[in-house]
Amino acid sequence: MARFAIRRLAGMVLVLFAVSVLVFAIFNLIPNSDPAQRMAGKNADATLVKSIEEDWGFDEPVWVQYGSMMEKLFTGELISYGDQLNVVDRIVEGLPATFSLGIGAAVIWLFFGVLFGYLSGTRAGGWLDRALTVGSVAGISIPVFLIATLFLYFLTYKIELFPASGYVPLEEDPIQWAYHLILPWFTLAILNIGFYSRVLRSSMLNVMNEDYVRTARAKGLDENRVMVRHVLRNSLIPIVTLFGLDFGATIFGGAIITEVIFSLGGVGQYSAEAITNLDLPPLMAVTFFGAFFVVLFNALTDIVYAYLDPRIRLGASAQ
Amino acid sequence: MSEPLLSVEDLRVGFTTEGGRLQAVDGVSFGVAPGEVLAIVGESGSGKSVTAQTILGLTRSPNATIEGSVRLRGTELVDAGEAELRQVRGAQIGMVFQDPMTSLNPVYRVGGQIVEAIRAHGSDTSKEAARERAIELLDSVGIVDAERRVDDYPHEFSGGMRQRAMIAMALALEPEVLIADEPTTALDVTIQAQILRLLEGLNRERNLATILITHDLGVVAEVADRVLVMYAGRVVEEGALDEIFYDPQHPYTWGLLGSLSRIDRPRPHRLPQISGAPPSLISLPEGCAFRTRCPHEFAKCSQQPPLEAKLADGAGHADRCWLDLERKREKRQVGGRIGLEAPS
């Protein structure tokens, strides 16, 4: 188990290093991204640009710049090129909104994804299955920005049921918090509800043909128990895999469009600004934290696997 | 032998598939009495497993048509409701399946799965009592150290132990009928013998009516009282064990017997086999289904022969073949033993 954990950890460090180098390299290769030039403004004279370069260390070799940026990132002293504020502070400020959005949406998509998948799988070929299939495919195909716009147009503008935008902190007013987040939650969740229900449906149809399901029926178990304990339980493994990947990715990165449309002021919106302004430090920090979460949730997924399937449990401790 | 406990009459099971409608079981009848072992023998696709699973209603689906009658102590099961059938499954008829590697759910403990079977019929048994009973059952089917092994997962059991656990599970509620669907096929030869001995012992001790589905005549010789030989969904011959082994009437049975390797006979240069493959159930040949592989085919075979007893001394020995007795006795001798000659 210890060796397993160490190997996992070494893998994590390697992934994070690779991600940070890639972001840094891409940024330096983008045309018109020279930060000194951008800070100096249009038509700035060469001496000003030169002095900015010296102040910020842009004249150093690239790998030295990379080293100092990573050092500042870890000590929390990274300053953005654009608004020249502390990047880590800005991210921490945006976290409550981002977490509220991501976690809430995840709960919703997991609940409805599993529910719809189960209903579809147990009634395969029936009218409910067909209806849910059409709904799922629609949910997967309609882009997030369109869903958000439709929600806003019909539910906010036309019938004024929900507020248009903004984030109310949870500790300030839990009801307003949820009220303001309902539309963003569903906007973000709809794609995955469709996707998860399709995956669970096909997984269940596979498991239903397993010999142990026939054994369960031959024992005289009632159909609901056969479906929940023997079919659903064994069908959840692909769902756990997907969730491990999606949850990490959504919390940092996947929610940019949703955050911007509903002006939630979270980390996603911050990265959107950074992209528009070709501002490297926030991009680096957000990407780095995003990758960290994805890798972390992958590791957690493995632990949940072991809970779901005892055969994996034994394999892990034997390593 | 006493009255049949379970009787199957003119059972027909058809499935609608993409390739067309197929008749997997076509007019099968038999009865099993307490303490009796009935073996159903045949190749893959002969309908033996479908017959067994239909008894418990496990083949029910929108694509299946099930006709005929299955009666347990006079109660009809073919048109019984799902709830009624559920009371029969496990409680009155226990079933053991072919592959113990895949027949236990890998994510639950072996003991837990037996407890589930015990508590499936009204949860009036407490969890603790059911667990005690599971340990007892595992012990009774020969699991050493059952007290500890009850909490193991299926992957921690060997193949033979899993099949023992499956048998324990099938017997958890003391059913009167045990259906074993190829219970030894997936096991090593040495383990096969142990499992057969176990089934035989249980059959005698508990006076179980046992239906043993197999393609292995060696297994049949070991434990069966009566034998039903199936081909392409129909019974082609039935009789007592000795009748089938020493006076087989149907060329298909000859072929099966001829392809057995026996240590009490000189070893043939090459083990004989029945040439050809079983016919497609979607397009069966007209008349006798075996005639396409039978070297003794003649004009009359294009009509379906009835299943009838033709021997003076064996009322229970019936077959489906047009050949007369004299011709059969002569033709089944191949190289000094019973067999089916290779087609010339």
**With pLDDT > 70 as the criterion, what percentage of chain B qualifies?**
95
pLDDT on residue B1: 46
- Cα dist from B60 to B48, B97, B99, whole Å: 16, 17, 21
B87: closest CA of chain A, how far (Å): 6
Q: Can you tell me the distance from the alpha carbon of B295 to that of B280, in angstroms, rounded to the nearest whole number?
A: 19
Q: Is the Cβ–Cβ distance between A102 and A251 less than 8 Å?
A: yes
Rounded to an integer, the average pLDDT of B244-257 is 90
In this prediction, residue B267 has a pLDDT band, given cuts at 50, 70 and 90, of low
Return the structure tokens found at B242. 């000795």
- Longest Cα separation, chain B: 67
Q: Can you tell me the distance from the alpha carbon of B93 to that of B175, in angstroms, rounded to the nearest whole number?
A: 5
Residue (of B219, B174, B217) closest to B194 by Cα position: B219
The pLDDT tens digits of the residues spanning B269-300 come to: 677 788 888 888 888 888 899 988 888 888 88
Is residue A185 within a helix (H) or strand (E), and if so which, with residue range? Answer: helix A174-208
Range list of H helices, B176-250: 189-206, 217-223, 241-246
Give, rounded to a whole angstrom, the gap between the first and last alpha carbons of chain A.
7
Q: Can you tell me the distance from the alpha carbon of B295 to that of B31, in angstroms, rounded to the nearest whole number?
A: 32
Q: What is the mean pLDDT of chain A?
A: 87
B189: closest CA of chain A, how far (Å): 23
Beta strands in chain B (DSSP E): 6-17, 20-32, 37-41, 64-72, 75-76, 93-96, 177-181, 209-214, 226-231, 234-240, 308-309, 318-319, 333-334, 337-338
Token look-up 């132990």 returns: B161
Q: Which residues of B221-256 are buried (b: 16+ CB within 10 A; e: fewer)?
A: bbbbbbbbbbbbbbbbbbbebebbbebbbbbbbbbb
Phi-psi region of A265 (alpha: psi -120 to 50; beta: other; left: phi over 0): left
Q: Is the Cβ–Cβ distance between B130 and B118 less than 8 Å?
A: yes
More confident residue, A169 or B145: B145
Rounded to an integer, the average pLDDT of B10-27 is 91
Residue of A nearest to B83 (CA): A222
More confident residue, B126 or B40: B40
- Cα dist from A210 to A203, A295, B33, B96, whole Å: 11, 33, 32, 15
Q: Parallel, antiparallel, or unpaired: how do β-strands B234-240 and B226-231 relate?
A: antiparallel
Q: Can you tell me the distance from the alpha carbon of A163 to that of B214, in angstroms, rounded to the nearest whole number?
A: 69
Q: Can you tell me the distance from the alpha carbon of A225 to that of A210, in angstroms, rounded to the nearest whole number?
A: 16
Q: How far is CA B114 from the centre of its chain?
A: 23
The pLDDT tens digits of the residues spanning A4-56 come to: 778 878 888 899 999 999 999 988 888 777 788 778 777 778 888 888 888 88
The pLDDT tens digits of the residues spanning A250-267 come to: 876 668 888 998 988 888
Q: Which residues of A lie closer than 8 Å to B, measured between beta carbons?
A: 210-212, 214-223, 225, 229-230, 233-234, 308-311, 314
Residue of A nearest to B155 (CA): A311
Token look-up 């449990």 returns: A313
pLDDT on residue B98: 85
Return the structure tokens found at B119. 């508590």
- A143: which DSSP letter? -
A249: closest CA of chain B, how far (Å): 29
Helices B159-170/B127-140 angle, 10° precision: 120
Q: Which residues of B lie closer than 8 Å to A, measured between beta carbons?
A: 53, 56, 58, 82, 86-91, 94-95, 97-99, 102-108, 116-117, 120-121, 153, 155-156, 166, 169-170
Q: Which residues of A touch B103 (CB under 8 A)?
A: 211-212, 214-215
pLDDT on residue B343: 58
Is residue A98 within a helix (H) or strand (E), and if so which, with residue range? Answer: helix A87-122
Q: Which residues of B touch A314 (CB under 8 A)?
A: 155-156
Q: Which residues of A touch B121 (CB under 8 A)?
A: 220
For the sheet with B177-181, list strands across it: B93-96, B177-181, B209-214, B37-41, B226-231, B234-240, B318-319, B308-309
pLDDT on residue B123: 66
ipTM: 0.86
Rounded to an integer, the average pLDDT of B224-248 is 93
Q: Is the Cβ–Cβ distance between B143 and B59 less than 8 Å?
A: no
Give the three-state DSSP class for B57.
coil
Residue (of B272, B264, B241, B276) closest to B335 by Cα position: B272
Verify whether the Cβ–Cβ distance B86 to A220 is below 8 Å: yes
Residue of B nearest to A125 (CA): B62
Q: Is the Cβ–Cβ distance between B37 and B210 less than 8 Å?
A: yes
Verify whether the Cβ–Cβ distance B117 to A217 is below 8 Å: no
More confident residue, B344 or A213: A213
Return the structure tokens found at B288. 């006798």
Cβ neighbors of B250 (< 8 A, separation 6 or more) are: B229, B236, B237, B290, B319, B320, B321
Residue (of B224, B169, B170, B159) closest to B194 by Cα position: B159
In this prediction, residue A318 has a pLDDT band, given cuts at 50, 70 and 90, of very low
pLDDT at A109 over 60: yes
B230 CB-side CA count, 13 A: 30
Q: Can you tell me the distance from the alpha carbon of B108 to that of A308, in angstroms, rounded to the nearest whole number?
A: 10
The pLDDT tens digits of the residues spanning A70-80 come to: 998 888 888 88
pLDDT at A206 over 90: yes
Residue of B nearest to A211 (CA): B103
Of A129, A207, A217, A219, which to mutate for an interface test with B (greatest number of B Cβ within 10 Å)? Answer: A219
In this prediction, residue A232 has a pLDDT band, given cuts at 50, 70 and 90, of very high
Angle value at C-alpha B23, between B18 and B24, nearest 5 degrees: 100
Burial of B125 (0-12, 13-18, 19+ CB in 10 A): middle
pLDDT at A317 over 70: no
What's the one-letter identity of residue A302? D
- Cα dist from B183 to B118, B197, B202, B209, B244, whole Å: 21, 12, 14, 16, 22
In this prediction, residue A319 has a pLDDT band, given cuts at 50, 70 and 90, of very low
pLDDT on residue A155: 87
Verify whether the Cβ–Cβ distance B107 to A310 is below 8 Å: yes
What's the one-letter identity of residue A53? E
Residue B22: CB atoms within 10 A of its CB come to 18
What's the one-letter identity of residue A197? S
More confident residue, B330 or B264: B330
What's the one-letter identity of residue B317? H
Cβ neighbors of A163 (< 8 A, separation 6 or more) are: A156, A179, A180
Q: Can you tell me the distance from the alpha carbon of B238 to that of B30, in angstroms, rounded to the nearest whole number?
A: 9
A62: closest CA of chain B, how far (Å): 53
Q: Which of A2-11, A174-183, A292-301, B231-240 has the lowest mean pLDDT?
A: A2-11
B330: closest CA of chain A, how far (Å): 45
Q: Parallel, antiparallel, or unpaired: how do β-strands B234-240 and B318-319 relate?
A: antiparallel
Helices B159-170/B110-119 angle, 10° precision: 10
Residue of A nearest to B157 (CA): A311
Rounded to an integer, the average pLDDT of B162-189 is 90
